[in-house]
Amino acid sequence: MTDSPRWFTSSYSDNGGQCVEVATNLVASRGVVPVRDSKVADGPVLELSAAAFSSFVAGVKGVS
């Protein structure tokens, strides 16, 4: 059985149309965090390693 991404947009999003969606449910089974443009649901998907995604989030949190 293939896992399907369960997409969500951050609660910090201001819904201004410049959002990305992530699917963290695939970390355990595949070790990846898919990311896509919320405006183009059938568009390309980037699959980031769990470590790369964690580094990205840490970097974003460090920006004031």
- The residue with greater pLDDT, 20 or 2, is 20
- In this predicted structure, what is the pLDDT of residue 25? 94
Number of structural domains the chain divides into: 1
More confidently predicted of 11 and 8: 8
What is the CB neighbour count within 10 angstroms for residue 54?
Answer: 13
Assigned domain for 61 exists: no
Per the DSSP assignment, residues forming a β-bridge with 46 are 35
Query: Looking at the domain assignment, is residue 6 inside a domain?
Result: yes
* Global confidence as pTM: 0.79
Within a domain: 35: yes
64 pLDDT higher than 60: no
**pLDDT tens-digit profile of 13-56?**
776 667 889 999 999 999 999 999 988 989 999 999 999 999 98
Range of the structural domain that residue 24 is part of = 1-10+18-40
Domain presence at residue 32: yes
Q: What does the pLDDT read at residue 2?
A: 65
* Residue 3 falls inside a structural domain: yes
